[in-house]
Each structure stands twice: as structure tokens, then as C-alpha cells.
């Protein structure tokens, strides 16, 4: 698939590795930065989704486009290969939710969502609809600042955002999917408000502290088919 990810807000909180490890499936090891695991809350817009064999023809060939998503994630390893593990993914597209659950075994949920971008101001809102009973909400207001630049080598920002593998489990089998995109150009964020229960719905009590917050205007992505690992 060749989606475009736009208007990404990366919010992260540190947690103990033991807390996160016990929530992972067998075969995955928590990845840490300076001894800490991280739980992430990442809202963004998914745009112009199309398969590899369809050329970019504008709106022709796009199954659906420009719908918001949000994921709750952490960072893992398997056999030395670093990647992302998703505890939940919410999307405003029913088709995307059903397809991702069937084809990729990813824990997608249908949600009513809205992401507004006006100048340097952003507003995000979510209410999970189904499958139930895992209800969740999220609302955030923030301002983007500064020029975009790639994360420095060895930095926490690079650890959190430059991930090129996703892991999934389907029918008891672990799968690995490779992702390709240019490095994110990240910007500063002033987080004005945040109210959410998505992290709690994933089984975590997030720390009572301001999250590490960064933003990216987005990247064009290639997501390859899942393989057993």
C-alpha cells in the first residue's frame, strides 16, 4: 500500500519496561531508550491509500482518502529487528477498519473523528464506536512551531519516530511488515490541552506528567505485505 501520512502529532510517556513487556505477545521484546519504555499516542490523517500496482493518478485508484487515524503504540524488537507494536488503532473509515482487521490482524476500531488544521493551530477529536465494549475518547488542541528538521542520530526523537517495521499477530502467529518513507521532518509543539482515555483502554495508566510532544507535516509511505517472523 502507498498511503500518505499527514499532520502527525507524536505524544509519548515513559513507562517501566516491565509494565509494557507483560502486555506484549510472546516473541516480542520491549525496546528501550536509556532504560525506559515508551507508550505513544499518535493522531494523524491518512490520505490517498492505493496498492503498489496502481499508479498515482490523482483521485483515480484511491480506495478512500483523507480520513483521521489514531494509534496507541510502543516499540519492540524481534531477532534484533526494531519495530512498532500497536495496542489499538482508530480510524474514521469503516472500510479501512474491516480491511486492516481481516488482512493484517491489526486491532483497528471504528471511531468518529475530526482533525482540523488552521495555520499553525491544530485540533483533534475522537470517540470510539465499535467493536465494543472498548470505548475511548480523545481531544487535543495544540500549536505547531519552528522549522522542520530530521531527528538527530541517537536522539530520543529518532528512537520514537524512525521506525520502519510494524509487528502484528494473527491466529497466534507473529507477522512483520516493512515500511519505507523519507525521514520525518519534526517540529516543536505547544500542547494546549489533552483529554484522552485511549491509553487506559489499551491497559495502561499513563504517568501524571506532560508528554514528550513533537509534530510532523507528514511523509509519503510504502507499506509492504506482512510476512511471518
pLDDT digits (tens, 9 = 90+) for 36-59: 999 999 999 998 765 544 445 454
Per-residue pLDDT of the chain (229 residues; tens, 9 = 90+): 788 999 999 999 999 999 999 999 999 999 999 999 999 999 999 987 655 444 454 544 445 568 999 999 999 999 999 999 999 999 999 988 998 898 889 999 999 999 999 999 999 999 999 987 678 999 999 999 988 999 999 999 999 999 999 999 999 999 999 999 999 999 999 999 999 999 999 999 999 999 999 999 999 999 888 999 9
pLDDT averaged over every residue in the chain? 92
Q: And the C-alpha cell for 32?
A: 528501550
Strands (E) in 92-221, as ranges, are: 108-118, 121-130, 137-150, 165-170, 173-180, 185-196, 212-220
- Give the Cβ contact number of residue 222 at 10 Å: 12
Helix segments in 62-154, DSSP class H: 94-104
Calculated CA dihedral for residues 84, 88, 93, 99, nearest 10 degrees: 70
Q: And the C-alpha cell for 11?
A: 505524544
The H-or-E segment that residue 20 falls in is helix 17-21
Strands 81-91 and 108-118: parallel
Burial of 170 (0-12, 13-18, 19+ CB in 10 A): middle
Do 178 and 132 touch, CB atoms closer than 8 A?
A: no
Rounded to two decimals, the pTM is 0.92
Do 69 and 54 touch, CB atoms closer than 8 A?
A: no
Using omega within 30 degrees of 0 as the cis cutoff, is the peptide bond preceding 147 cis? Answer: no
Q: Which residue has the cell 521532518?
A: 185
Q: Which domains does the chain have, with CATH numbers?
A: 4-228 (2.40.400.10)
Burial 3-14 (b: 16+ CB within 10 A, else e): bbbbbbbbbbbb
Do 71 and 60 touch, CB atoms closer than 8 A?
A: no
Amino acid at each position: 500500500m502507498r498511503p500518505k501520512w499527514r499532520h502527525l502529532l507524536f505524544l509519548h510517556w515513559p513507562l517501566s519496561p516491565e509494565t509494557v513487556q507483560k502486555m506484549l505477545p510472546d516473541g516480542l521484546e520491549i525496546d528501550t531508550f536509556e532504560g525506559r519504555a515508551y507508550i505513544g499516542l499518535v493522531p494523524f490523517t491518512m490520505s490517498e491509500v492505493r496498492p503498489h500496482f496502481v499508479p498515482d493518478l490523482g483521485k483515480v485508484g484511491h480506495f478512500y482518502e483523507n480520513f483521521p487515524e489514531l494509534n496507541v503504540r510502543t516499540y519492540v524488537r524481534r531477532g534484533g529487528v526494531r519495530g512498532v507494536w500497536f495496542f489499538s488503532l482508530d480510524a474514521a473509515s469503516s472500510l479501512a477498519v474491516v480491511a486492516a482487521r481481516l488482512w493484517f490482524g491489526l486491532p483497528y476500531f471504528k471511531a468518529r473523528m475530526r482533525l482540523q488544521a488552521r495555520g499553525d493551530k491544530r485540533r483533534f477529536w475522537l470517540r470510539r464506536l465499535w467493536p465494543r465494549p472498548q470505548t475511548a475518547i480523545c481531544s487535543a488542541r495544540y500549536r505547531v512551531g519552528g522549522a522542520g528538521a530530521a531527528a538527530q542520530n541517537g536522539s530520543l526523537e529518532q528512537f520514537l519516530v524512525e521506525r520502519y517495521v510494524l509487528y502484528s499477530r494473527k491466529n497466534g502467529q507473529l507477522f512483520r511488515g516493512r515500511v519505507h518513507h523519507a525521514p520525518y521532518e519534526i517540529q516543536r509543539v505547544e500542547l494546549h490541552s489533552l483529554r484522552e482515555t485511549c491509553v487506559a483502554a489499551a491497559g495502561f495508566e499513563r504517568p501524571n506528567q506532560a508528554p514528550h510532544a513533537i509534530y510532523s507535516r507528514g511523509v509519503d509511505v510504502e507499506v509492504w505485505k506482512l510476512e511471518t517472523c
